[in-house]
Chain A
Amino acid sequence: MADQSRRLPNRPLSPHLSIYRFTWTMAMSIFHRATGMALYFAVPLIAVFLGALLAGPDMYELFAAVAGSWFGILVLIGLSWSLIHHAIGGVRHIVWDTGTGVDRASRYLWAQGTLIGSVALTTLLWLFVLLGD
């Protein structure tokens, strides 16, 4: 067993992230995971929101004040973008599951469209929310 390291072949082993060229599909794969993770840890916020609502007007006012503060709005903008991005990514994956849109041009269009679409929709959503008031 001790001699095993000497018997390792002299060639690259287990190539990892650092050796790959950047591609849009790779970036959107990472974004899909990252946004999914952000949303995962945001799920307790649903329980906090419903709990505050259940606890009565005082707790609900406190929740609304935190959510409506600049920090709360910043978190909500981030979460809404994550949700929209993850949702478009999900649609993209289901389209790919059917075997369509997997040629080079289409998959790059879908990958770039996911990012452009999510940023555009999030911007529209918040323009409507913040300017509508």
Chain B
Amino acid sequence: MVARTQHARIRGLGAAGTGSREYWLIKLTSVVLLPLTLYLIGVLVALRHASHAEMAAAIASAWVALPLFFFILANAIHMRIGMQNVIDDYVHSKGLRKISSGANTLFSWGASGVALYFLLKLGIGA
């Protein structure tokens, strides 16, 4: 007799142990990131000769700080899932996959967290 429910059985399937949620999140974040990327490239090009004071003022303004805030947030999710796909495809040993998956999560949220912290300090006032 099998005590597991159909739901419990299906949840553990797939190389990553997860399924459509990751797919949906990477698509959703990609849709969010597209306009933010175009906008922020424009901002960077416009500010390429800015002095420290000009750049600090521009980044601190809500017009740049908010798009950049959401860019870093959405990108943290997007980059983690993207790298996770690569790890799941190419890292076959279970132990190594666990370690690299953990490192991926730490790197994605670590780099993004530091960037968000600096951005908030610049935006709210250092």
Contact = CB atoms under 8 A, between A and B. Distances in A.
Interface of A: 33, 36-37, 39-40, 43-44, 46-47, 50-51, 53-54, 56-57, 60-61, 80, 83, 87, 90-91, 94, 97, 125, 128-129, 133
Interface stretch (B13-21, B30-38, B92-100): B30-38
Contacts of B55: 53, 60
B56 A51 contact: no
Contact of B45 (A36, A53, A60, A125): A125
Q: Which of B27, B31, B56, B111 has the most CB of A within 10 A?
A: B111
A50 B59 contact: yes
Contacts of B126: 54
Nearest to B30: A90
Contacts, number: 71
Given A46-B115, A47-B115, A83-B37, A40 B82 contact: yes
A53 B59 contact: yes
B86 interface: yes
A40 B122 CA distance: 24
Q: Main secondary structure on chain B at its contact with chain A?
A: helix
Contact of A44 (B34, B49, B53, B111): B111
Interface string B25-55: 0010011011001000100010011011101
A56 B37 contact: no
Contact of A91 (B34, B41, B118): B34
Nearest to A129: B45
A70 B53 CA distance: 24
B118 A47 contact: yes
A60 B58 CA distance: 14
A33 B41 CA distance: 21
